[in-house]
């Protein structure tokens, strides 16, 4: 089971930090460094003189400062990011999370006449599973120079100030990237129509805001009933009011009275504030930053090489999400999710440091490994303010015509154009085949049977959301066997 780290509050008394490191330090360190029983600026300067005059003591102090103080604060602070409520916690062991869903049992009529045979019949449970793996591994570097460390001992609060400067930059970077990743996960599911879109009045006036709140309340109520309308996998599930989280855009949150929303959820304002999560905008994804920490989510990444040889991302495009879709996401007022919809787990939060004697500094690296995913079994809904009913408008296949051979394969890609937040998924089919082995899989790859006798096949992609919209391509089939010098051989 994942465990959530307890937030730690850093003390602003340098002497307490020095004493905490002293208590966990080496024997030599405890021998030479006095306990700060009457902390003042002069005694702290004396401790600093002893530490800075001995390379071994200085290295011991810096290592413990990084690993016993800064790491603890930074790791615990990760649970104070904007999306901290969605985080499940730290998984100590294993790399894979298994999300298991068991469907409802089917009812059967009571019939004593068939009881003797019916009792032995097997009813295999309908079990579905999703697996989440580590898909995020980054590090945040920080450098502590000798002059910084020496200056920290010149004032009574100097050590505390040094720690705060170091851990704040690490925590801020981690929290920002975590928030950015969460927004991308949700945005990806929205633009691909995997989250049910509920038509909603744009909150442009007080009356429209009230209408939007009514829509949110109705959807929240409907989500408490066991149905398949709100899950990505199309399985029947429910989420009680206490198990729901409402993600609000900053603009919508400013327009709506929180007490009105709380009443819509049948909660007090204090209770509702714990179920409300503020998002600046569902389309405000930092593409440059995302490319730096998760390049597999971006395309057309442009790098700039600094003088020290480190590459930095200058610009990037999101994978699977266009700029036009980001603009549409900016208009989304709210998303309602089950607390289990976002599957985020910490896998590794650790600090490593190394001393550079030539440069008189210590480099430290804060390593963060996580799992980011969304559950296909947890209910979710997006409130869509775009005009008209979401629909798939067209499908284009690539290629539109192709050649294949018996026993071979041909791959197709379907580009789906749509309005609103609607599923872009398609169902593939093939007609004209004479062989049972000629099939097309869910990814759009046509496998032609070795015994196929048809010379022409038709591949069709049909929209799941709007079945009236489809596109087809023709495949000309050639026999893969030819006669060479009087012998039958593979072509």
pLDDT band at 10 (very low <50, low <70, confident <90, very high): low
Please tell me the distance from the alpha carbon of residue 31 to that of residue 63, in angstroms, as a whole number. Answer: 18
Query: Is 478 part of a structural domain of the chain?
Result: yes
Please tell me the distance from the alpha carbon of residue 383 to that of residue 216, in angstroms, as a whole number. Answer: 8
CA angle 375, 380, 383 (to 5 degrees): 145
Span 282-306, average pLDDT: 92
b/e 237-258 (16+ beta carbons within 10 angstroms → b): bebebebbbbbbbeebbebbee
pLDDT band at 486 (very low <50, low <70, confident <90, very high): very low
Among 73-82, 210-219, 225-234, 479-488, the range scoring the smallest mean pLDDT is 479-488
What average pLDDT is seen over the chain?
A: 84
Residue 368 has pLDDT above 80, yes or no: yes
- Count of domains in the chain? 1
Residue 7 has pLDDT above 70, yes or no: no
Query: Is 113 part of a structural domain of the chain?
Result: no
Residue where the block lists tokens 């596109």: 471
Tens digit of pLDDT for each residue in 309-330? Answer: 778 899 999 998 889 889 989 9
DSSP structure class, residue 274 = T
pLDDT band at 79 (very low <50, low <70, confident <90, very high): low
**Please, what sign has the CA dihedral across residues 235, 241, 242, 244?**
positive
Query: Is 275 part of a structural domain of the chain?
Result: no
Between residues 17 and 378, which one has the greater pLDDT?
Answer: 378
Please tell me the distance from the alpha carbon of residue 205 to that of residue 385, in angstroms, as a whole number. Answer: 13
**Rg of the chain in Å (alpha carbons):** 30
Dump the DSSP string for 413-459: EEEEEEESS----EEEEEES---TT-EE-TTSEEE--TT---SEEEE
What domain range includes position 418?
391-490
Tens digit of pLDDT for each residue in 89-128? Answer: 888 766 678 788 788 777 888 888 777 777 777 777 778 7
Query: Is 441 part of a structural domain of the chain?
Result: yes
CA dihedral defined by 43, 48, 53, 55, rounded to 10 degrees? 140
Query: Is 48 part of a structural domain of the chain?
Result: no
Q: What is the β-pairing status of strands 196-199 and 380-384?
A: parallel
Report CA 400 to chain centroid distance, whole Å. 35
Residue 128, SS3? strand
Residue where the block lists tokens 């590090």: 139
CB 58 within 8 A of CB 149: yes
Query: Is 430 part of a structural domain of the chain?
Result: yes
Question: What percentage of the chain carries pLDDT values higher than 90?
Answer: 38
Query: Is 416 part of a structural domain of the chain?
Result: yes
Residue 484 has pLDDT above 80, yes or no: no
Length of the chain: 491
DSSP structure class, residue 275 = T
Query: Is 287 part of a structural domain of the chain?
Result: no
pLDDT of the residue at 220: 93
pLDDT of the residue at 123: 75
Among 122-131, 136-145, 325-334, 397-406, the range scoring the smallest mean pLDDT is 122-131
The CATH number for 397's domain is 2.60.40.60
pLDDT of the residue at 421: 84
């Amino acid at each position: 089971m994942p465990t959530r780290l307890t937030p730690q509050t850093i003390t602003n008394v340098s002497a307490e930090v020095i004493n905490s490191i002293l208590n966990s330090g080496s024997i030599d360190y405890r021998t030479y460094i006095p306990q700060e029983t009457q902390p003042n600026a002069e005694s702290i300067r004396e401790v600093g003189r002893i530490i800075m005059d001995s390379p071994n003591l200085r290295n011991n102090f810096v290592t413990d400062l990084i690993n016993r103080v800064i790491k603890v604060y930074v790791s615990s602070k990760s649970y104070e990011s904007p999306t901290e409520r969605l985080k499940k916690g730290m998984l100590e062991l294993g790399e894979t999370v298994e999300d298991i869903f068991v469907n409802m049992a089917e009812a059967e009529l009571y019939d004593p006449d068939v009881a003797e045979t019916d009792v032995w019949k097997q009813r295999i449970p309908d079990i579905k599973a999703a697996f989440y793996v580590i898909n995020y591994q980054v590090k945040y570097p920080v450098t502590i120079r000798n002059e910084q460390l020496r200056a920290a001992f010149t004032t009574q609060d100097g050590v505390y100030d040094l720690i705060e400067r170091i851990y704040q930059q690490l925590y801020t970077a981690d929290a920002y990237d975590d928030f950015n990743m969460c927004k991308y996960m949700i945005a990806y599911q929205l633009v691909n129509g995997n989250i049910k879109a509920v038509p909603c009045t744009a909150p442009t006036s007080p009356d429209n805001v009230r209408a939007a709140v009514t829509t949110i309340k109705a959807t929240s109520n409907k989500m408490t009933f066991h149905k398949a309308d709100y899950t990505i996998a199309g399985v029947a599930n429910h989420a009680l009011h206490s198990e729901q989280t409402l993600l609000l855009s900053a603009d919508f949150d400013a327009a709506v009275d929180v007490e009105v929303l709380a009443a819509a959820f049948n909660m007090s304002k204090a209770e509702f504030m714990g179920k409300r999560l503020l998002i600046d905008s569902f389309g405000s994804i930092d593409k440059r930053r995302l490319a730096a920490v998760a390049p597999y989510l971006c395309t057309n990444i442009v790098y700039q090489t600094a003088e020290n040889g480190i590459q930095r991302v200058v610009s990037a495009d999101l994978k699977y999400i266009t700029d036009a879709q980001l603009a549409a996401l900016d208009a989304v007022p709210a998303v309602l999710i089950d607390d289990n919809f976002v599957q985020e787990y910490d896998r590794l939060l650790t600090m490593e440091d190394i001393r550079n004697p030539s440069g008189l500094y210590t480099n430290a690296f804060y390593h963060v490994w996580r799992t980011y995913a969304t559950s296909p079994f947890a209910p979710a809904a997006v409130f869509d303010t775009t005009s008209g009913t979401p629909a798939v408008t067209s499908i284009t296949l690539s290629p539109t015509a192709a050649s294949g051979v018996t026993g071979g394969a041909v791959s197709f890609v379907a580009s789906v154009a749509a309005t609103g937040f609607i599923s872009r998924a398609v169902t593939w089919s093939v007609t004209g085949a004479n062989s049972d082995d000629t099939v097309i899989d869910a990814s759009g790859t046509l496998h032609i049977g070795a015994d196929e006798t048809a010379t022409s096949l038709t591949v069709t992609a049909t929209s799941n959301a709007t079945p009236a919209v489809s596109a087809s391509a023709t495949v000309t089939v050639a026999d893969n066997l030819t006669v060479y010098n009087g012998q039958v051989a593979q072509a």
